[in-house]
Structure 1
Amino acid sequence: MQNLSPPHGPIMEGFGDRFESPEDYILTCTADIWEGRGIAALDWHYADDLLVRTPAGIHRGNDAGKANTMATLTEFPDRQLLGEDVIWCEAPDGGFLSSHRILSTATHRGGAFGPATGRPVRFRTIADTFCKQNRVWDEWLIRDNAAIALQLGSTARNVAQALIDAGDHSPPLTPETDLPGPYTGQGNANSWGDRHCDLLRRLMAHDFAAIPGAYDRACHLSSPGGAESHGWPAIEEFWIGLRSALPDATFDIAHQIGRTDAACPPRSAIRWSLTGTHSGWGRFGAPTGAQIHVMGVSHVEFGPRGIRRDITLFDDIAVWTQILLQT
């Protein structure tokens, strides 16, 4: 199913002549701000009342965006942001919603993750952003913070405890703390996105027997903590471990995109959540009874024998923060 639109049609109205497509806009602006140090560009690139939701909480306004950008660049001054993919769909009232997957490389020079170690790190980020009239109006951002912690010789649990000990008791993002933003869409109607959503619903309904029929036997899985694995047993271990930790949690799909583009495999981007009680053994150790909200994003690429690539992100540190604050 093709869902391509003319690059200078209604989707890019108001973006000027500099950008050829949503992909070009996202990749160019990301490079300008982070690697080009054009932080002042956030004054026009971000809407004044922009909402940025991360698993750790919500930041509102342009000043918070600039402060967070500078803090990250201070801790990782040589960070390179390698755009792996931009999966997008049209927004209901103009513009588009993009799901941008980034692989970053950097050297740790000290900051939120502790004193400088000089160690090289590699981690992924996925940012869902609503863009219209040459500005970002709404954003959902997940960074694989556990991957950074592990490469610096720590764990997600230990970093979460250190942040709490340092006085960071800010509430994480939950359905109760979330705020409505200007983007009200839920994605596009596309058979590849529907296929991906159906699989996730089956997995969250404990139907793990669906894995061999949905995934290529040689599928490559990228999961939180910077983990890279291959094959059905690894995929089963990951999804069962997550669901086992929250066996009675409510699963929700917040947004879905399916796309078929020239020179690309069919692919899908799904933003989802699990909300419930940490009542089972699994990814997060012994049951604690804590109330947990997991915000995740999954990107998949389809091949002739099913899903051949699955990149799923959520923030283990944010989950451990919720557990430790309650226990």
Structure 2
Amino acid sequence: MVINPKTYAPFESAEEYILGWTDQIWEEYGLGRLHEHYADDMVVHGAYGPIRGMETVLRGSLVKKSAFPNRIGTAEDVICEWRGDDAFISHHRVFHSGPQEGQWVYGAPSGRNSESRNIAICLVRDGLVVEEWVVRDEYRVVTTLGLDPEEIARTVAFTDEEEGLFGTPAPEDVLVRGESGPRPETHAKEAAFIREFIDDVWGRRHLERVPEFTQRDLFLETTRSRIRTRPKNYQIELSQMLAPFPDATVEVRDIAVNTAPEQGTRIGVLWRLTGTYDGAPVYGPVTHSPIEILGASQFLLRNGRIIREWRVFDEIAVMAQVAKARGDEPRLG
């Protein structure tokens, strides 16, 4: 396939496009350059609902930069896959760290160091981001700032849109076409492998199959900076993630696979969990109310099996939904 260089202009590759624009906007205070980076009518799908339009993104970015002027975002990996000859999807895993030095939606400057892992998934067409899915470990942000997650969850609002966080039905066959469009024929085996893992192990609860898909020294990093090692502890962590919503359905919404000599084969997955909060009371007394989670995972394969997973979803957004079901009065931050 011949790729139109306009797809990642003005950079030399798709990976450089993602890393270069991130630095220009956030490290160099180039917030006004968002006009050159985002399409005017772009949509960002986040854990609390969609954000529409580049101008809305610009306003929110300005507020965040003022609160965390010295926050550093370190790129852990960028997984890119082509979507035709004029577009690509990128799964950008970033670790953020830096002090809160300005007023933020959660309160006055604390001076405390905030840290968290984010995964930003961008669909880029002809040099512009046209759609984005952003997943943050906001629970870690809140606790590293010394704040009470329950209190914060009561102050944020979850979307009221009937379409939910995605606004579209789940793809019929994510191996052929996901949220970001038609997939290439490359890496079909790896994409099918990871879909089977999530569909059967996560979705159908065949946790006994975890060792079939993973290496002995499996390493999982998940929300709240929790680390779990080996298949047994992966099974325990997964059961604990699902236990608050025992009827949960997990949809794989998009897959991207990339192999590089220095990094190996990595797979980025965008997923959605829906269920009822009527199981383990992890987020306070059960409310028997619906829950929707936008999540992302990145997997590293070794000899065709999973050796590492980085999993990100926003537990503050989950708690906000529970607070809303309890009747707590939310306010927009």
TM-score by length of 2: 0.87
Partner of 1:152: 145
Which one-letter code corresponds to 1:259 in the other structure? Answer: N
The CA distance in 2 between the partners of 1:205 and 1:15, in whole Å, is 39
The question of whether the paired residues in 2 share the 8 Å contact of 1:13 and 1:95 is answered with no
The yes-or-no answer on 1:293 pairing with 2:292 is yes
| Aligned-partner residue type, residue 60 of structure 1 | R
1:116 counterpart letter in structure 2: P
Alignment partner of 2:159: what SS? coil
Alpha-carbon distance in structure 1 between the residues aligned to 2:319 and 2:212: 33
1:267 partner SS? strand
Q: What is the alpha-carbon distance in structure 1 between the residues aligned to residue 234 and residue 190 of structure 2?
A: 20
For residue 146 of structure 1, report the CA deviation from its aligned partner. Answer: 0.6
1:174 positional shift: 6.8
State the alpha-carbon separation in 2 of the partners of residues 233 and 208 from structure 1.
9
Number of aligned residue pairs: give it.
Answer: 313
Moved more, 209-218 or 99-108: 209-218
Corresponding residue for 1:264?
Answer: 263
For residue 185 of structure 1, the aligned residue among 167, 181, 192 is 181
5+ long unaligned stretches in structure 1: none
Give, in whole Å, the separation in 1 of the partners of 2:51 and 2:18. 20
Q: Deviations over 1:178-231 (max 9, x none)?
A: 446xx6515444222221111111222111111222222322211112223322
Query: Residues 174 and 22 from structure 1, CA distance in 2 versus in 1: closer, same or farther, beyond 3 angstroms?
Result: farther
- Taking the TM superposition and a 5 Å limit, the aligned residue runs for 1:234-313 are 234-281=233-280, 283-304=282-303, 306-313=305-312
The residue type paired with residue 318 of structure 2 is V
Deviates more, 1:89-98 or 1:139-148: 89-98
One-letter amino acid of the structure 2 residue matched with residue 150 of structure 1:
T
State the SS of the aligned residue for 1:266: strand
- Give distance in 1, aligned partners of 2:231 and 2:151: 30
Q: 1:39 to 1:185 in 2, by over 3 A?
A: same
Is contact 2:100–2:109 with CA below 8 Å preserved after alignment? yes
In 2, are the aligned partners of 1:12 and 1:95 still within 8 Å (CA)? no
1:1-327 aligned at under 5 Å gives the runs: 9-16=2-9, 18-92=10-84, 94-109=86-101, 110-161=103-154, 163-164=155-156, 169-171=157-159, 175-176=163-164, 178-179=166-167, 184-185=180-181, 187-189=183-185, 190=187, 191-203=189-201, 204-281=203-280, 283-304=282-303, 306-327=305-326
TM-fit CA distance, 1:305: 7.7
Offset, 1:156: 3.1
Give the percent of matched residue pairs that are identical in Structure 1 and Structure 2.
25
From the superposition, tell whether residues 131 and 117 of structure 1 become closer, same or farther in structure 2 (CA, over 3 Å).
Answer: same
1:222-276 per-residue CA deviation (whole Å, 9 max, x = no partner) reads 1112223322343122211122111212221110112222222111011111112
Post-superposition shift, 1:301?
Answer: 0.4
Question: Distance in 2 between the 1:218 and 1:141 partners?
Answer: 29
Code of the aligned partner of 1:158:
E
* Aligned partners of 1:144 and 1:314 also within 8 Å: yes
Shift in CA distance, 155/15, structure 1 to aligned 2, threshold 3 Å:
same
2:331 is matched with which residue? none
Secondary structure of 1:82's aligned partner: strand
Provide the aligned C-alpha RMSD in A. Answer: 2.2
5+ residue gaps, structure 2? 169-178, 327-333
- Farther off after superposition, 183-192 or 81-90: 183-192
Change (3 A) 1:174 1:26: farther
CA apart distance, 1:285: 4.8
| TM-score normalised over the length of structure 1 | 0.88
Residue aligned with 2:264, SS: coil
Deviation at 1:282, TM superposition (A): 5.9
